[in-house]
Structure 1
């Protein structure tokens, strides 16, 4: 197999902003760009770990187990895992080389694509679930269950794992400090197109169709109380599109990189990847804290924790109030 080094998610070589060739050290502007990207990824790591960690804490400890909490928990776990390994890529940005060996070269790339696919597939599940609940409320009430949701989540993770396997196969090390995709052009094209079609286009179409149906249905029923969900739905779709579209566009253009100036990719790919990474810390705010009940649960639970730490007498009362609140919580957004 030809050892062609193509641009791609988390590629590394000696010239950090010239992913296509192994060459001399990058110019000062490229080094500055690497530092900026490294810092941004550290910020994403901190926000993502804290935000997704908070969502996991709320779903597991502070909310009654439900279908919606199953979706939120799975999405938060996916983003938490992604953010947890992001510092490895920050080190790559700062040092302009890969220093973690072949196993981590393969594993980190695998984790990143696992997050991409699992997040998108979970968005599809959430969209379809909400659409069915609005269009077929009686059927949904009779058949919607935590067990069914859990089965679908496991299925989404299995499919995501299978879709991420190319990273385990094709990622290789060169000269002990370069992590890259060791594949020929045809394989590269097939993988890039499949990721775009199955990991973006089809999912985006399903999400858009579902939310269009929801909005039309709710408006036809004049359900004015659902204005908040409309805003959340719009934010979810727009954010997803903004974060991931640039990456897929650059990757598709890069298939024929010989026809384009290398600067398009040397700056476009790294920043589009960082933007895609940012989606992992945005999700907790869009899916959880913008929701009325999640925000109420977080605040009440936080104050309850503070009260419990101050006084044992207050602890008993606060705990009872917290349990009462938790029992009344509906996770619908």
Structure 2
């Protein structure tokens, strides 16, 4: 059985064969169509994610003026790049159907995945609240909205993401698979009673439901204000922000649904659905740079390079 190092919730029990004569495991390879397809998708995520997010970091970090919004999107790109950098470990794991990188990387790769999930949605909450304040209370926002304060908010978002992701370090372990007799990287929730349910529910509430509720409230205020005051300014940055949030929602919702289902239903179809939802969630980390590029003003009228489109989009964002 191959398990995703970052998100898959396999709870394979520990198998001790110390009293038996070890039998060399047969060499396994990723040969079936489903496995090969997932590997190719992960390779695509890695290449696009690393290239795209590196471009965003270079443009937002070195070529653009430091503003509230560019700093938020810069942090989001750093989070996505961190996740994409761990994807090769998952690829090798799937190809060889065994874990060869040791206990530390087993824990760290999973930890980085959940830090990315939490930090991404927390940063989107910060962007949404900031935009809501600027639309609902423009005078107060202009006087009190400073780069220093948003950097503090971003820092706190990262700290919270790291703290909440600690269970990935605690419960992730390298064990011997009883069936294939190879080392695999799994989550061992049996180490603490009821920990599986508690962690999945906490992840759903803190990392998805509450942020989406806050973002929805912010959007409601923004839409009401825009309609009431007939405001059309900042429509492009608003579209970029909307695209980022909708993409996160679509990519992560199936994962949370199947994670909840797996607690009660140990069915093969649930396991397969969880594997596909993990890929969809991983896809979120390579899409953001393309959203920046294709939501810019010049996309329909000019055929500039990919970097020019990203820079154009950030030029719109930093003027908020």
Contact 2:124 2:245 in 1 (8 A): no
Give, in whole Å, the separation in 2 of the partners of 1:287 and 1:121. Answer: 19
State the SS of the aligned residue for 2:209. helix
1:136 equivalent in structure 2? 137
SS at match of 2:186: strand
Shift in CA distance, 128/30, structure 1 to aligned 2, threshold 3 Å? farther
Which residue of structure 2 lines up, in the alignment, with residue 178 of structure 1?
Answer: 184
State the Cα deviation string for residues 100-126 of structure 1 (Å, max 9, x = none). Answer: 111111010000000000001001000
Cα pair 1:122 1:156 within 8 Å, conserved: yes
The aligned residue for residue 251 of structure 2 is 243
RMSD of equivalent CA atoms: 3.4
What SS is found at the alignment partner of 2:66?
coil
> Quick check: 2:240–2:292 contact (8 Å CA) kept in 1?
yes
CA distance in 1, matches of 2:95, 2:4: 19
SS at match of 1:85: helix
Q: Assess, with a 3 A threshold, how the Cα gap between structure 1 residues 173 and 12 changes in structure 2: closer, same or farther.
A: farther
Query: What is the correspondence of 1:1-333 to structure 2 with a 5 Å cutoff?
Result: 9-11=6-8, 31-175=32-176, 177-184=183-190, 186-258=194-266, 262-287=267-292, 289-292=294-297, 331-332=318-319
Q: State the shift of 1:87 in Å.
A: 1.0
Partner residue, 2:22: none
The aligned length equals 297
Please, which runs of 5 or more residues in structure 1 have no aligned partner?
A: 14-18, 304-321
Give the whole-Å Cα distance in 2 for the aligned partners of 1:140 and 1:279.
Answer: 31
Note if contact 2:30-2:97 (Cα within 8 Å) is conserved in structure 1.
Answer: no
Deviation at 1:159, TM superposition (A): 0.4
Q: Contact conserved, 1:244 with 1:276, CA < 8 A, in 2?
A: yes
Does the 8 Å CA contact 2:30/2:96 hold for their aligned counterparts? Answer: no
Query: SS at 1:180's partner residue?
Result: strand
Change (3 A) 1:202 1:301: closer
Q: Compute the TM-score of the two structures, normalised by the length of structure 2.
A: 0.82
Show structure 2 runs of 5+ residues with no match: 16-24, 177-181
Cα 1:89–1:271, aligned 2, differ >3 Å: closer, same or farther?
A: same
Q: 1:40 to 1:117 in 2, by over 3 A?
A: same
Distance 1:136 1:245 in 2: 32
CA apart distance, 1:257: 2.5
- For residues 278 and 317 of structure 2, the distance between their equivalents in structure 1, rounded to whole angstroms, comes to 36
Residue 286 (structure 1) shift: 2.5
Query: 2:270 & 2:318 partners in 1: Cα distance?
Result: 42
